[in-house]
């Protein structure tokens, strides 16, 4: 079980920063800009949430295995795939949280900052981000949990290879299948504990946010 | 077109993705060999790998198990399995013909059993009892599932089981065993090796030819270590382990 | 010499903006009914909104010119704007708010000085939600002025304040603006705010600047008539304030109203009544005590429904009274042209404009 734990931790270490950076960027773009085709992007961003993980995994598998570079680099069934697979179902959660956080910042505050001489970038750092920080952190916690617990998409494009791509959720599955219930239960308890802790963190952040507004 | 802030964000985005991607390659440090085995051979291979390393013959590979047909598809999709042990020659032959496998040989035969968790003994007639749910592996991808269907047809049970929806098709023999053990089905048809692993209930060996387990090395994904492992499990020193799990070892070469 | 010369137009659904403004080192008011385009004008001057066509020049710098496609971004215009809702940054202290737009190593010092100037010394570390309405207003003012803008704009800066606060803030604004010699333009729909503070007033209605008036000339009776005529908004009457048995009254040739202003306004004066303060009365319902003093009877000359509101012109006592109320009020009275109505005005809501030196009430 240790190797699965380590693999899951490595996946988190890679995914959490990516969720933050990509989620905040796309969330900001969707909240604050207009462009042609924005509606389409909106749908694409939300789509992974609406699709069953196995369908998502299947589409990813089909797309990836047809890109020549991917085959040669042996990305499928490898750790990089296990690290990136959970991003697909969890990024939409992060993007939506960031987006709604940014949208809820009073536009007038941003306009006031503009009249006081700030460029768009400065406005983001000094006004928009600090005021939506709590929403973003709550979204990050939820998205990270989704990434940690991913099963279907990881299984499809990374496979279930112990020591290489077998994350904790996959570990649980394999052990149940092989009827090693003891190990499976321990791993499940671990994931449950982490899930509960992160929910408590989210609750605390939400509480603070309501206080401040 | 894009204002300064959007540009710098997209650049940061691109850099972050690139860095993480490359980092994940670095993270994928020590790669052990991986052997893909049919679900029925799972436990046996675990023990073989353990002994292989204990006796100083080489490094124990990681073991991935599943239905033989599913594993074969993964190998064709480029999965990093260096050795493939299938529950039937059908899949190894297919891979060999398509150029994925070499050094293909049979290594053991595996009887098919019907198992239930009750204390009373089970016979082939028991299968014909009314209202029983029977779990088998998927005939499309698991040799044991295919064998089970053939047997049920031969005793005239298949049609009624299908009509009355009493035939439960699971992904692999391990899952069929899980179904039977957890009560989702009354009886499971799978390999003797799994019945031995369950170490409870009762089973009867079905009067059909045991399945011939066959395996081969995967071109381009094997290693010296795996070649040694492949030779080891077909050698006489490994006989004891095979027999313990209900297999009859087969020697060739 | 003019610091600001602006002329621009913009078309919105059902509304056409046509503005022309010239401003020197002085304080000017932009006055008109709500919906006239005042806030939009300020936003355009600040660079937060883009007109269709026109030219804006501030201290010789072209901020906007449709002819040569010049548009300077808001962050580079050095135009300070105090929003109606203030828009103080809720996650920053008063000091941090004021220091926000100041550049350079001394920004905290300068910010403290500004807070002292607006009489908020010692409150540097308070958060906006720990300050009173008047204190917040002053922080907003200091914040806009601290970066030394070339132009100061204020959107209804006094609307949320009551009498004494309002007067205090007007004095503050006058002092700060003249001290820093910053051209100042503020928006208001309250005539008192105009008279007490500005040297010049731009009248705007339905999107168009109709006239630019010297406030000192506002007292000229002829100017008054034509202004109100062109604005077509509110009721203005010339007459006198008298005192009778302890009460103050405003009298004109055909009528009188009880007023509540200071005693030293006795003499020649004009009164202005905001359309929202002309209240219709139900014939069979007891009248609210504050309306008892000024009950009048008149005839409806014209009833106009506009944008969910009703505009009513009533003839009574020789005056054309302008009333305005939401479309769903007074439905049971079934007002029609030519109908007799009862109405009244609260004494405290009558703005007395005295000709002596721009001070009001």
CATH number, domain at A45? 1.10.3720.10
Between CA B20 and CA B23 the distance in angstroms is: 5
Interface with A, mutate which of C43, C45, C50, C74 (most A CBs under 10 A): C74
Choose between C312 and A73: higher pLDDT: C312
- Give the chains touching C; criterion: ≥3 Cβ pairs < 8 Å: A
Domain of residue C278, CATH code: 2.40.50.100
CA angle C39, C171, C361 (to 5 degrees): 90
Residues C41 and C103 in one domain: yes
Interchain CB distance below 8 Å, A178 and B65: yes
CA-based nearest distance B187→chain A, Å: 17
Interface with A, mutate which of B7, B9, B43 (most A CBs under 10 A): B9
CB B209 within 8 A of CB B150: no
Chain C CB contacts of A127 below 8 Å: 89
B135: pLDDT strictly greater than 90: yes
pLDDT confidence of residue C63: 93
Residues C210 and C296 in one domain: no
C226, C261, C287 - which closes a domain:
C226
B178: pLDDT strictly greater than 60: yes
Residue A65 contacts C where some CB pair is shorter than 8 Å: no
Residues C176 and C209 in one domain: yes
C179, C197, C226 - which closes a domain:
C226
Domain that holds residue C284: 234-353
pLDDT confidence of residue C226: 65
Count chain A–chain C contacts defined by CB atoms under 8 A: 57
Using CB atoms, pick whichever of B17, B34, B172 lies closest to residue A18. B17
Q: What is the ipTM of this complex?
A: 0.78
Average pLDDT over residues B182-204: 91
Between CA A187 and CA C220 the distance in angstroms is: 89
Between CA B130 and CA B124 the distance in angstroms is: 13
- For chain C, the residues whose C-beta falls within 8 A of a C-beta of chain A are 46-48, 73-81, 83, 85, 87, 89-91, 100-101, 103, 143-144, 147
Query: For residue A166, what is the nearest residue in chain B, using CA coordinates?
Result: B64
Q: Where are the beta strands (DSSP E) in A10-153?
A: none
Between CA B81 and CA A46 the distance in angstroms is: 35
Counted domains in chain C: 2
pLDDT confidence of residue A162: 86
In a domain, C360, yes or no: no
Residue A21 contacts B where some CB pair is shorter than 8 Å: yes
Interchain CB distance below 8 Å, B25 and A80: yes
In a domain, C160, yes or no: yes
Residues C184 and C272 in one domain: no
Average pLDDT over residues B180-208: 91
pLDDT in tens, chain C (361 residues): 688 999 999 998 778 899 999 999 999 999 887 777 899 999 999 999 999 999 999 999 999 999 999 999 999 999 999 999 999 999 999 999 999 999 989 999 999 999 998 889 889 999 999 998 889 999 999 999 999 999 999 998 888 777 778 888 888 888 888 888 899 999 987 777 887 888 899 988 888 887 888 877 776 666 666 676 666 678 888 888 898 888 889 999 889 999 988 777 788 888 888 888 999 998 888 888 988 889 999 999 888 887 678 888 999 988 889 998 888 888 888 888 888 999 999 998 888 876 654 444 3
CB C74 within 8 A of CB C43: no
**Residue A171 pLDDT level (bands cut at 50, 70, 90):** very high
Query: For residue B43, what is the nearest residue in chain A, using CA coordinates?
Result: A178
Lowest model confidence (mean pLDDT) among A196-210, B185-199, C34-48, C255-269: A196-210
Domain that holds residue A152: 2-212
Counted domains in chain A: 1
Neighbours of C73 (CB within 10 A): 13
CB B223 within 8 A of CB B82: yes
Residues C207 and C239 in one domain: no
Chain B CB contacts of A14 below 8 Å: 20, 23-24, 27
Domain of residue C159, CATH code: 3.40.50.300
Interchain CB distance below 8 Å, B174 and A177: yes
Chain B CB contacts of A61 below 8 Å: 77
CA-based nearest distance A107→chain B, Å: 17
Between CA C46 and CA C83 the distance in angstroms is: 11
Query: For residue A116, what is the nearest residue in chain C, using CA coordinates?
Result: C101
Please compute Rg for chain A using Cα positions.
19
C162, C194, C226 - which closes a domain:
C226
Between CA A205 and CA C188 the distance in angstroms is: 41
Q: Which of A87-91, A153-157, C14-18 holds the top average pLDDT?
A: A87-91
In a domain, C361, yes or no: no
Between CA C46 and CA C149 the distance in angstroms is: 11
Walk me through the domains of chain B, giving residue ranges and CATH numbers.
34-110+211-249 (3.40.190.10), 112-205 (3.40.190.10)
pLDDT confidence of residue A27: 93
- Give the chains touching A; criterion: ≥3 Cβ pairs < 8 Å: B, C
Residues C125 and C211 in one domain: yes
End-to-end CA separation in angstroms for chain B: 70
Residues C248 and C210 in one domain: no
Using CB atoms, pick whichever of C85, C91, C143 lies closest to residue A108. C85
What's this model's pTM, rounded to 2 decimal places?
0.73
Interchain CB distance below 8 Å, A71 and B78: yes
Residue A80 contacts B where some CB pair is shorter than 8 Å: yes
Residues C193 and C313 in one domain: no
CB B96 within 8 A of CB A196: no
Query: Coil, helix or strand for C134?
Result: helix
In a domain, C359, yes or no: no
């Amino acid at each position: 079980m240790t190797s699965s734990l380590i693999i899951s931790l490595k996946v988190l270490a890679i995914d959490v920063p990516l969720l933050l950076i990509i989620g905040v960027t796309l969330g900001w773009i969707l909240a604050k800009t207009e462009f042609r085709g924005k509606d389409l992007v909106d749908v694409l961003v939300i789509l992974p949430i609406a699709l069953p993980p196995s369908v998502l995994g299947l589409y990813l598998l089909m797309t990836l295995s047809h890109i020549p570079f991917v085959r040669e680099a042996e990305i499928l069934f490898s750790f990089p795939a296990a690290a990136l697979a959970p991003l697909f179902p969890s990024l939409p959660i992060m993007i939506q949280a960031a987006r709604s956080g940014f949208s809820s910042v009073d536009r007038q505050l941003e306009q006031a900052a503009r009249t006081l001489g700030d460029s768009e970038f400065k406005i983001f750092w000094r006004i928009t981000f600090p005021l939506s920080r709590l929403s973003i952190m709550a979204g990050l916690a939820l998205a990270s949990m989704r990434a940690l617990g991913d099963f279907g998409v990881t299984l499809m494009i990374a496979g279930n290879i112990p020591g290489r791509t077998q994350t904790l959720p996959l570990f649980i599955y394999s052990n149940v299948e092989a009827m090693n219930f003891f190990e499976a239960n321990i791993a499940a308890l671990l994931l449950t504990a982490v899930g509960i802790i992160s929910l408590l963190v989210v609750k605390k952040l939400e509480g603070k946010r309501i206080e401040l507004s | 077109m894009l204002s300064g802030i959007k540009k710098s964000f997209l650049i940061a985005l691109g850099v972050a993705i690139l860095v993480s991607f490359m980092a994940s390659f670095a993270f994928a440090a020590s790669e052990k060999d991986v052997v893909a085995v049919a679900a029925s051979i799972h436990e046996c291979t675990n023990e073989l790998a353990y002994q292989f390393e204990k006796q100083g013959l080489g490094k124990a590979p990681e073991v991935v198990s599943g239905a033989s047909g599913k594993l074969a598809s993964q190998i064709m999709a480029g999965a990093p399995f260096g050795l493939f042990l299938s529950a039937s020659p059908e899949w190894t032959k297919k891979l060999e013909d398509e150029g994925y496998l070499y050094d293909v040989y049979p290594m053991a035969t595996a009887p098919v059993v019907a198992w239930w968790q009750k204390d009373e003994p089970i016979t082939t007639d028991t299968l014909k009892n009314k209202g029983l749910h029977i779990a088998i592996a998927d005939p499309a991808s698991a040799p044991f599932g295919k064998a089970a269907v053939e047997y049920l047809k031969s005793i005239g049970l298949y049609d009624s089981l299908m009509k009355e929806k009493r035939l439960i098709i699971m992904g692999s023999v391990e899952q069929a065993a899980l179904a039977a053990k957890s009560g989702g089905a009354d009886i499971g048809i799978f390999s003797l090796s799994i019945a031995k692993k369950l170490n409870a209930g009762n089973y009867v060996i079905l009067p059909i030819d045991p399945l011939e387990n066959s395996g081969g090395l995967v071109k381009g994904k094997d290693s010296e270590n795996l070649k040694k492992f492949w030779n080891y499990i077909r050698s006489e020193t490994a006989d004891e382990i095979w027999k313990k799990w209900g297999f009859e070892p087969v020697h060739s070469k | 010499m003019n610091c600001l010369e602006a002329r621009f137009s913009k078309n919105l659904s059902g509304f056409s903006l046509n503005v022309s403004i010239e401003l020197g080192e002085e304080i000017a008011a932009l006055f008109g009914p709500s919906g006239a385009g005042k806030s939009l004008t300020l936003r355009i001057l600040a660079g937060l909104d883009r007109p269709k066509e026109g030219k804006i020049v501030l201290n010789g710098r072209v901020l906007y010119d449709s002819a040569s496609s010049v548009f300077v971004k808001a962050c580079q215009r050095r135009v300070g704007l105090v929003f109606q809702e203030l828009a103080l940054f809720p996650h920053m202290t008063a000091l941090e708010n004021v220091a926000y737009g100041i550049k350079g190593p001394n920004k905290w010092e300068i910010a403290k000085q500004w807070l002292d100037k607006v009489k908020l010394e010692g409150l540097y570390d308070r958060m906006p939600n720990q300050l009173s309405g008047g204190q917040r207003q002053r922080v907003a003012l200091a914040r806009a002025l601290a970066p030394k803008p070339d132009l100061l704009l204020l959107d209804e800066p006094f609307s949320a304040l009551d009498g004494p606060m309002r007067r205090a803030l007007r004095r503050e604004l006058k002092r700060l603006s003249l001290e820093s010699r910053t051209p100042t333009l503020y928006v208001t729909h309250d005539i008192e705010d105009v008279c007490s503070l500005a040297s010049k007033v731009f009248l705007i209605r339905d999107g168009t600047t109709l006239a630019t008036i010297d406030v000192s000339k506002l007292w000229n009776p002829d100017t008054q008539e034509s202004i109100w005529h062109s604005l077509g908004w509110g009721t203005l009457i010339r007459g006198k304030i008298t005192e009778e048995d302890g009460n103050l009254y405003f009298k004109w040739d055909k009528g009188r109203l009880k007023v509540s202003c200071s005693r030293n306004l006795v003499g020649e004066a004009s009164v202005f009544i905001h359309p929202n303060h002309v209240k219709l009365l139900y014939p069979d319902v007891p009248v609210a005590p504050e309306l008892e003093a000024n009950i009048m009877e008149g005839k409806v000359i014209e009833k106009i429904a506009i944008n969910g509101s009703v505009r009513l012109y009533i003839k009574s006592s020789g005056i054309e009274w302008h009333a305005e109320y939401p479309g769903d009020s007074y439905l049971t009275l079934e007002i029609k042209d030519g109908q007799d109505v009862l109405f009244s005005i609260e004494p405290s809501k009558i703005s007395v404009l005295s000709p002596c030196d721009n001070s009001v009430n």
